Homo-oligomer: A and B are copies of this chain.
Amino acid sequence: MPESEGLSRRTLLRGTAGLGLATLGCQGLAQQSGATPPPPTAAPQGKKAGWAILGLGGYALGQIMPNFKECQRSRLVAVISGSPDKAKKVAGDYGLDAKNVYSYENLEAIKDNPDIDVVYVITPPGNHREFTVRSAQAGKHVCCEKPMAPTAKDCQAMIDACRKAGKLLQIGYRSRYEPHNIRAIEACRKGELGRLRSIVSDHGFNIPNGLWRTQRKLSGGGSMMDIGIYSLNAARYLAGEEPVEVYATIHNLPNDPRFKEVEDTVHFTLRFPSGVVANCSSGYSWAGMNRYHVIGERGTLEAEPATSYGGQRLTMRRRPVEVPPGNQFAAQMDHLSACILDGGQVLTPGEDGLQDIRIIEAIYESARIGRPVKL
């Protein structure tokens, strides 16, 4: 699920409106490592994949649904909600066919609706497994928000269900479809900084009390699951390899009602096979922080904000980097649509989400035992 950026949320949201569209094709992705962004391709005209939004919370309503108008390969066709009244109103707002409004109870009926190609699961993570599995079993491709699910076991069940149904599964790692992040990854992969030596990534904000995010059953965990996962995912896609060891500490502000069920601040260190080390952090009691930097032998890069809804800024060798504008939300959806319509591999598949959750489980374990954990 998306982050709420505390003091800088408004700033971070600014800049998404009016951005042009970058469509990421998915042909040939099999030849690319998971860390390499796909090349942009001209979008074929014509058929669009039909999307159903499952879960009508703030992220769905505020970020995802408004961005279908920026999509070239994707169209919003249905909503699936636990709130009939809200579903009806939202469907009306977007001019959806009244028959394309579903509840969590009659979700399976989407099986017989040819308008729907994909279900985008945007509920709290505690429900991701159930809705992903049910959607796949109803014969639909699935996009599922991050974090993929509370446990690696859940993630594997989701991957298995989609595979068994012959359907694609994408995790909503929108930063992988965002131009500044794509440029940063390119710089790392092409050796523009020389050999990489160090990565630092810090994400946090001050969470209000009373949200589902601080209820373990719904959230699956605290800041690490929600916002620290950006630090983790970025470390992996910037390094371009998978960590072999993690060490972590957790500290909760004492007597703070927000941290009765979930963790507050996590610091974690990832050791990668090449020798690169990533010092990362995550917090729920912080003034807003959303940044990473990479230190190479011959240059550095820094992104701040790095993984926000908009307004990203990237510097390389201390100089601002201009990148072509692009709408990360539309690009993420159009990528899955292109994979469905044209064939190809998903850039951020279930395996990517599973890997983050595996590492988060190791982070929790390391903090518990006070020692590094091998991955």
Contacts and interface: CB of A to CB of B under 8 A. Distances in A.
Interface of A: 193-195, 197-198, 200, 202, 204, 206, 247, 249, 251, 253, 265, 267, 269, 271, 275-277, 279-281, 283, 285-289, 293, 295-300, 317, 370-372
Contact of A251 (B202, B275, B299): B275
A197 B295 contact: no
A287 B202 contact: no
A265 B206 contact: no
Contacts of A200: 200, 202, 279, 281
B300 A197 contact: no
A198 B286 contact: yes
A267 B279 contact: yes
B267 A267 contact: no
A154 to B, nearest CB: 29
Contacts of A299: 287
How many protomers of this protein does the assembly include?
2
Contacts of A293: 202, 289
A231 to B, nearest CB: 11
B297 A277 contact: no
B251 A286 contact: no
Ranked nearest first, the 3 interchain pairs of A and B with the lowest CB-CB distance are: A279-B279, A251-B275, A267-B277
Contact of A277 (B198, B251, B287): B251
B194 A287 contact: yes
A296 B286 contact: yes
A235 to B, nearest CB: 12
A3 to B, nearest CB: 15
A28 B105 CA distance: 72
A269 B247 contact: yes
Contact of A247 (B296, B297, B300, B372): B372
A177 to B, nearest CB: 27
Contacts of A288: 300
Contacts of A287: 193-194, 295-300, 317
B289 A300 contact: yes
Which residue among A249, A280, A283, A371 has the maximum number of chain B CB atoms within 10 Å of its CB? A249
B202 A265 contact: no
